[in-house]
Amino acid sequence: MLGFADRLFEKTKKAKTPLCVGLDPRWEQIPLAIRKPFGGAVPESLAAVAGAYESFCGRVLELVSDRVGVVKFQAAFFEQCGHHGFAALERLLLKSTQLGLFTILDGKRNDIASTASAYAEAAFGGASFGGKKFGVWSADAITVSPYLGTDGIEPFVSQARSLSCGIFVLVRTSNPGAGLFQDKVSSGEKLYRHVARVVESLNLVAVGSSGYGDVGAVVGATYPAEINELRVLMPRTIFLVPGFGAQGAGAKELAGAFRADGSGAIINNGRAITFAAKPDQMDWENPLVRACEKAKAELAEVCSL
């Protein structure tokens, strides 16, 4: 079986785009036509909210599955629906895989030792009890927060590696306040560069034929100069780039994330695609598809796959 990075590169090459569609369902923004069987403006229960999320995301997956290679699920919005949301997320991840999509579970999980392993096992479908394996989620990659240090990252890497999956470590995030800790300078370097070095070093032992390892990095599109700088610092690391579209960054600002062959980065665009239509528009599918094609065209100017 191909390793994580090679599998991911294959998906983006086949779709001819580094675009990743981000699924961040929010009740108020979901088409009313979808919400109607679940209560309309006001849901009947959390099960109804989860039902609407599953119905909406399931249809989005069908609409984008021959247009992009990668989708990203934001765990928080499913957690907001309690166990109903988790069950919906399990089925949606499965459906994504069946549609041939590569899946990223954006949960920003973090802990140490066996607790970190428990998160990783849940994400990658490999929880083992009494020697018997039980699948929970079937994600290809998850996002991980690095504050705990390498013993907070390694259990995720080791689980991922055993299943040809991968992780994306938060290195340079896209939010306005990102610099508060990430820009702290020590030994002449900012913290996010230290994190970057650790991530890159974890890839040294497991580089696939595409030239990348299985430990990716989240690098925000809202800091273009740092994308270029981190590309040099982390030549073996795949970037997951949020902040394109709704958060304001254009395609040109993230050109530095790619290698000449178009590999090296996955560009996430959530709300600008999935909520391209207003909630009360009857035809929400065509605006969504057009927004997806528009994002692809913009990215094609800076990344040829």
Q: Which residues are tagged catalytic?
A: 108
Q: Which two tokens stand for residue 138?
A: 């079937």
Calpha distance 101→61 (Å, rounded): 9
Considering only 5, 23, 24, 221, the residue that binds its own copies (CB under 8 A) is 24
Q: Does 280 bind its own copies (CB under 8 A)?
A: no
Kindly tell me which residue out of 2, 37, 62, 83 binds its own copies, with binding defined by CB under 8 A: 83
Scanning 31-148, the segments in alpha helix (DSSP H) are: 32-35, 46-64, 75-79, 82-98, 113-123
Task: Name which of 82 and 100 has its Cβ closer to its own copies.
Answer: 82
Residue 155 in contact with residue 202, Cβ under 8 Å? no
Residue 75's alpha-carbon distances to 92, 139, 159, in angstroms, are: 12, 12, 19
- One-letter amino acid of 161: R
Nearer to its own copies, 49 or 299 (CB): 49
Please identify which residue in 12, 173, 237, 269 interacts with its own copies, judged by CB under 8 A: 173
**Assign residue 264 a region: left if phi > 0, alpha if psi is -120 to 50, beta otherwise?**
left
Tokens of 275: 């909520």
The residues that bridge with 19 in the sheet, in sequence order, are 267
Contact stretch for its own copies (CB under 8 A) within 1-9, 45-53, 156-164, 260-268: 45-53
Site string for its own copies, 91-130 (x = CB under 8 A): -----------------xxxxxxxxx-xx-xx----x-xx
Task: Report the interface residues with its own copies, using CB under 8 A.
Answer: 24, 26-28, 39, 41-43, 45-46, 49, 74, 76-77, 79-84, 86-87, 90, 108-116, 118-119, 121-122, 127, 129-132, 134, 136-137, 145-152, 170, 173, 175-182, 184-187, 191, 194-195, 198
